[in-house]
Amino acid sequence: MPPPDPELALWFAQEVQPHEAALRGWMAARFPAVRDVDDLVQEAYSRLIRTRRTGSIACARAFLFVTARNLALNHLRHQQHERPAGVAEIDPSIVADERPGVPESLARAEDLQVLVRAIEALPERCRQVVTLRKIYGLSQKETAERLGITEPTVEAQGAIGLRKCIEYFRRQGYRLNL
Amino acid sequence: MNPKTTAATATRDAALWTLRCDRGLSASEQDELSQWLAGDPRHRDAFGEHRRGWDELDRLAGLQTSVQAVPDPDLLAPARNRRLRRFVPIALGLAAAVVLGLGFLRSRAVPDSGPATAAAALALIERRTLSDGSVLELNRGAVVTGRFTAQERRVALERGEAHFKVAHDAARPFMVEAGGVTVRAVGTAFTVQLDPTRVRVLVTEGKVRVDDSAKGQSLLGAAVDGEPPVLSAGQSAVVTLAPTAVSHIGKISATEIATQLAWQPRLLDFTDAPLAEIVGAFNRGNPVRLVLADAALGEMRLSATFRSDNVEGFVHLMESDFGLHAERTGDRQIVLRRAVRP
């Protein structure tokens, strides 16, 4: 599904497509119950492209894995009408982009700075929760284990963090494009 | 009801519902959410904004994963704490083993001015000169640990890809262990890439042996005239893991080597250098032109290491840590000047 814009198409070919095999392999291993992997991969691509059109992405591979994971979980919830437990973890080592190439963040990180600063400005606990959940793609459960706090606390701190980030975006005039 | 309170409650609930949706709602929560949304049109707006904000933060996914092998909850701690914390593990690590893979930036004679320096954090440098003079360059995401003794130099590539330019020392072989494969060199340069399923070795200079770490036997085949087989400059080998076996040995051209090594960052490394010199080095390698507003600024001295292509990171750093103001004049020129202090 190459995007029409040539610059975007080149980026897609170089930064995104090389990860497809790894993504599919990981999806198959982690979500054997998901039948429509093709659909989910396409959907993850669309979201990635939409997001890239409206600003920078720190790491295409990580974004792709996190998005596909979230889509798969949603999909399973609908399939099973309940919350699947304990399948949300993403191994950070698989998300790390280990391919050759200059990370995009080095070239176009300017607009990411608002997001970074929003997180930096959070109170410590909120900041840790948001960092683990959003930058490392950890699930709520994994974040709780990692910080030695309960899941409801992670949820509450995450919500406070999110609310403060939104306030920060408003003060900075940062537009939410998605 | 006080309208201000209602708005505050709406955003608080919207944030909570966003987090709950993210982890998955139970059936009763689903009903509760529907009721809450239907209860007030402002709820729907606030919910939409918070969900978009939560998704927006995904842009940062994988930010700086190359620095930390394990998730670091304090990755974005305010700069003052972060810098301190980051150097401590390095100092401790030097005592027993050289722990590599951390970006670094040295600044001298510069006030540790307030706000966080995310730009500095993004300006990753992944090159290390080891105590024996060997140089290694780490690709993004690579993690390397090392242990040097009087008899041998041992390095373990835990993950990712690294290029090793080994200082010659016949008495102390240099060994890189990756996924149960040992690449042994005396004085040479090579790249080792560790994937979940294979190890790739690419020799750019000299020769290396490629052994099974456990058995200590060559993976390249039988000895010829009593000499273990070697991989020479311009050759690459792919070793599949589990079971460990060489699946491919090939010759590659100089052009291909250049392409394969293209990830190696070109580095600008300055120690106590005048800003004018640093700016000049950036300008030689980049289409974007940096201009210093006044000559005195060019005499400001600093120590820093940068990727030559990271003009943006450098400019950010100048703004956040060095109190300069950057003005973009035209799309190819950035003027740096001292920020006017209020």
Same domain as A88, residue A165: no
For residue range B245-272, list pLDDT tens digits in order. Answer: 777 777 777 666 666 665 554 566 666 7
Among the partner residues B24, B61, B75, nearest to A77 by beta-carbon distance: B24
Q: What is the CA radius of gyration of chain A?
A: 17
Q: What is the 3-state secondary structure (H, E, C) of A120-165?
A: HCCCHHHHHHHHHHHHCCCCHHHHHHHHCCCHHHHHHHHHHHHHHH
B8 to chain A, minimum CA–CA distance in Å? 10
Closest CA to B49 of A132, A162, A58: A162
Q: For residue B301, how far is the Cα from the chain centroid?
A: 26
Which CATH number characterizes residue A168's domain? 1.10.10.10
Distance (Å) from the C-alpha of residue B90 to the closest C-alpha of chain A? 21
Q: How many independent structural domains does chain A possess? A: 2
Report CA dihedral (B297, B303, B305, B310) to the nearest 10 degrees: -20
Does A112 map to a domain?
yes
Examine residue A45 and state whether it is found in any structural domain, yes or no.
yes
- A-chain CB neighbours of B309 within 8 Å are 102, 106-107
The per-residue pLDDT for A158 is: 97
Among A101, A121, A144, residue at a domain's last position: A101
Per-residue pLDDT band at B289 (split at 50, 70, 90): confident
**pLDDT over threshold 70, residue A87:** no
Domain enclosing residue A120, as ranges: 106-172
Do B71 and A97 make contact, defined as CB atoms within 8 angstroms? no
Which of A55, A102, A155 has its CB closest to that of B59? A55
Average pLDDT (B147-172) is: 81
Which of A79, A101, A123 terminates a domain? The answer is A101
Of A105, A146, A176, the CB nearest to B52: A176
Q: Which candidate from A59, A83, A132 shows the least CB-CB separation from B65? A: A59
A85 — contact with chain B (CB < 8 Å)? no
Distance from CA of B103 to the nearest CA of A (A): 13
Q: How far is B151 from chain A (nearest CA, A)?
A: 32
pLDDT band at A150 (very low <50, low <70, confident <90, very high): very high
The residue ranking higher by pLDDT, B3 or B118, is: B3
Confidence of residue B335 (pLDDT cuts 50, 70, 90): very high
Best B16, B65, B315 member to test A by mutation, with max A CBs in 10 Å, is: B65
A118 plus A55 within the same structural domain: no
Within a domain: A126 = yes
Whether A177 is covered by a domain: the verdict is no
Are residues A11 and A97 located together in one domain of the fold? yes
Higher pLDDT, A107 or B320: B320
Among B36-45, B86-95, B168-177, the minimum mean pLDDT is found in B86-95
- Read off the pLDDT of each residue in A66-92 and give the average, rounded to a whole number: 67
Widest distance between CA atoms in chain A: 47
How many CA atoms does the CB half-sphere of B198 hold within 13 Å?
11
Same domain, A32 and A46: yes
On whether residue A178 sits in a domain, the answer given is no
On whether residue A19 sits in a domain, the answer given is yes
Distance CA(B321)–CA(B178), nearest Å, equals 39
Tokens of A78: 């609908």
How buried is B281 (Cβ within 10 angstroms: 0-12 exposed, 13-18 middle, 19+ buried)? middle
Residues A82, A18 share a domain:
yes
Residues of chain B found within 8 Å of residue A54, distances taken between Cβ atoms: none
- Could B24 and A166 be called an inter-chain contact, meaning their C-beta atoms sit closer than 8 Å? no
Let me know how long chain B is.
342
The amino acid occupying position B117 is T
Q: For residue B275, give the nearest of B108, B75, B135, B145 by alpha carbon.
A: B108
Q: Residue A163 and residue B15: Cβ atoms within 8 Å?
A: yes
pTM of the full predicted structure? 0.48
Query: Where is average pLDDT lowest: A35-44, A55-64, A128-137, B27-36?
Result: A55-64
Assigned domain for A121 exists:
yes
The whole-angstrom distance between B59's CA and the closest CA on chain A is 5
Same domain flag for A59 and A143: no
Instruction: Give the model's pLDDT for residue B51.
Output: 93
**Does the beta carbon of A61 lie under 8 angstroms from any beta carbon of chain B?**
yes
Domains of chain B in start order, with CATH, are 3-60 (no CATH), 79-102+126-260 (2.60.120.1440), 267-338 (3.55.50.30)
A29 in B contact zone (CB under 8 Å): no
Distance, in Å, from the CA atom of B95 to the CA atom of B91, rounded to the nearest integer, reads 7
Quick check: A116 and B60 CB within 8 A? yes
- Provide the mean pLDDT of chain B: 73
User: Are A127 and A96 contained in the same domain?
Assistant: no
Give me the torsion for CA of B303, B305, B309, B314, rounded to 10°. -40
Q: Does A53 touch chain B (CB under 8 A)?
A: no
- A46 and A92 share a domain? yes
Dihedral sign from CA coordinates of B284, B290, B291, B295: negative
Last residue of a domain, one of A101, A127, A149: A101
| pLDDT, position A109 | 53
Q: Chain A contacts of B307, Cβ < 8 Å? A: 102, 106
Q: Are residues A60 and A113 in the same domain?
A: no
**A7-17 as b/e: b if 16+ CB within 10 A:** eeeebbeebbe
- Let me know whether A92 and A151 are in one domain: no
Do A47 and A75 belong to one domain?
A: yes
Rounded to an integer, what distance in angstroms lies between the CA atom of residue B76 and that of residue B128? 24
Examine residue A34 and state whether it is found in any structural domain, yes or no. Answer: yes
Dihedral in degrees, nearest 10, Cα atoms B92, B94, B99, B100: 120
Domain shared by A11 and A96, yes or no: yes
Confidence band of A162 (pLDDT split at 50, 70, 90): very high
